[in-house]
Amino acid sequence: MIVNEVLTGIIAIIIAYLLGSIPFAYIFTRLMTGRDIRQLGSGNVGGNNVYGQVGLKAAIPVAIFDVGKGTAAVAIAHWLLDVPMYEPQIFVLLSGIAAVAGHMWSIYLKFTGGNGLSATIGVLAFLLPWELLIVIALLLVLTAITRNLVLSVNISLLSVPISAWFLETEWMYLGFCLVLIVMLVLNFIPTAKAALVKAGTGKNLVNDLLRKDKR
């Protein structure tokens, strides 16, 4: 029995943020190479940078754990708040947002982190599985066209609020999706600006993105 829903909800959000903040990309890179992933490649604390700089053996567990922490964060919130599966609850949704925020701005790494994509996928897997299936379908198509996994994931995730608009009846889900997308976009802007400066022009940037992973 929940004595105080608000207090329990706040505890769930804090747990979700701390769980989301665990920097598995940093941990596995340290364990396997002794180096700081923030000083390698793009500096992103995520599976894609680990794959490029450390290798597949490190990238696979990083991806699994990053997705898993997103799922675990909302599962713990559901359990603490005793919320039935697939029933919208504001503190559960805020816990999902907190987990993604933790991945992006980890308290353990002085508020630096990854792009939040893996944690977002983990959160969606628990809360909005049908929307995630649409993301996966779009991802397969876009990856086949662009041969750029990260670009394809980012574009595919933009479909989530649209899917929620048609598939969900509760406004909280739509608001939740919109907040997630805004977070992802805002976190991606510095990376996009750096890539644009490096490419020189927008046309060159597009060409670089479409050529990536083809070489």
pLDDT tens figures, 148-173: 777 788 889 999 999 999 998 888 99
pLDDT(215) > 50: no
pLDDT(76) > 70: yes
pLDDT(83) > 70: yes
Query: In the chain, pLDDT over 90 holds for what percent of residues?
Result: 66
- Look at residue 19 in the predicted model and tell me its pLDDT: 97
**Measured at the alpha carbon of residue 106, what is the angle toward residues 186 and 11, in degrees to the nearest 5?**
105
pLDDT(195) > 50: yes
- Look at residue 1 in the predicted model and tell me its pLDDT: 41
Question: Residues 6 or more apart from 98 whose CB is under 8 A from it?
Answer: 13, 14, 16, 17, 20, 73
Q: CA dist 164 to 132, 158, 169, 174, 175, Å?
A: 10, 11, 8, 6, 9
Q: Which amino acid is at 57?
A: K
pLDDT(209) > 60: no
